Structure 1
Amino acid sequence: MAAGRGSEDLFDSILLADERFRGEGYQEGFEKGTRRGLQDGRRHGASHGAKLSSEISFYYGFGITWKCLLQHKADDKSRKRVKALDALLGLIRASDLDDPQSAKLQDDMEKLRAKFRQVCSMLNVPSDFKDYIRTAEGTSF
């Protein structure tokens, strides 16, 4: 009977070792996957944030420049254009750009893009942001 008991203990130790190694392997893989996911998420977030920041900065510079060019003109058309530019700049200032997790950020960007297209239409200039600048691909922050 002792021989039968020894083989059961050996079989149990093999099963327990298999379970232990499987558990350790799972835990190690989970930890590596979590670290990799965080790294990929940070890289994606930085890239997306840089593109968004570039776009908003462009709209701001565009608005300021056109406002400076038009602010001293007295005709009705120029006043309407300056008013639209003020609205564009106001949207930028009112946007919650410091919080990338803000639920309003997507809505603010859609409003900003729509206002930009409206202003471009009033100024008779192309409204595609990509026509003005190249994306900063390869730029690292």
Structure 2
Amino acid sequence: MAGSQDIFDAIVMADERFHGEGYREGYEEGSSLGVMEGRQHGTLHGAKIGSEIGCYQGFAFAWKCLLHSCTTEKDSRKMKVLESLIGMIQKFPYDDPTYDKLHEDLDKIRGKFKQFCSLLNVQPDFKISAEGSGLSF
């Protein structure tokens, strides 16, 4: 009788056993897919941020060359804001994706960029598209 009891226990417990095995297999597969999707998302998001910062940097360096010889009071204010923008861009932590204030610093750079564009009386529009990224005026 004890042997037949074990057979019935195996049948009754099969549902729980299969549920546990399915959970473990699903968890392992989901974990590996999650890592791959996370890398893809991180790469894409990092590329967008890098493209945006690079565009701001190129814009700032071009204007630094253009404003270098100007000496009016308005131009000195523009140069101060421009130097501040360049300093913020150079201090941006490109190599540390775990930096706690990454988005805060990026927002500050965007704000300083908008301030500088306001001083120049230009309306920039930074866009990222399939063809590439850039500023339009």
TM-score normalized with structure 1 length: 0.84
Counterpart mapping for 1:60-99 below 5 A: 60-99=57-96
- Look up the match of 1:113: 110
- Aligned partner of 1:135: which letter? S
- Look up the match of 2:129: 135
Distance 1:63 1:27 in 2: 53
Match status 1:13 vs 2:7: no
SS in 2 for 1:129: strand
User: Aligned-pair RMSD on alpha carbons?
Assistant: 1.8
SS in 2 for 1:96: coil
Does structure 2 retain, via aligned residues, the 8 Å contact 1:70–1:78?
A: yes
- Look up the match of 2:53: 56
- Look up the match of 2:135: none
Match status 1:25 vs 2:22: yes
- Pairs aligned (count): 132
Match status 1:37 vs 2:31: no
Distance 1:20 1:14 in 2: 10
- Give the one of 115, 119, 134 matched to 1:122: 119
Distance 2:130 2:83 in 1: 27
Does structure 2 retain, via aligned residues, the 8 Å contact 1:84–1:119?
A: yes
Does structure 2 retain, via aligned residues, the 8 Å contact 1:67–1:82?
A: yes
Does structure 2 retain, via aligned residues, the 8 Å contact 1:92–1:112?
A: yes
Distance 1:135 1:109 in 2: 20
Q: Which has the higher strand share?
A: 2
Report the structure number with the largest CA radius of gyration. 1
What are the Cα deviations for residues 25-51 of structure 1, in whole angstroms up to 9, with x where unaligned? 110000001111111111111110000
SS in 1 for 2:129: coil
The alpha carbon displacement at 1:137 in A equals 7.2
- Aligned partner of 1:101: which letter? T
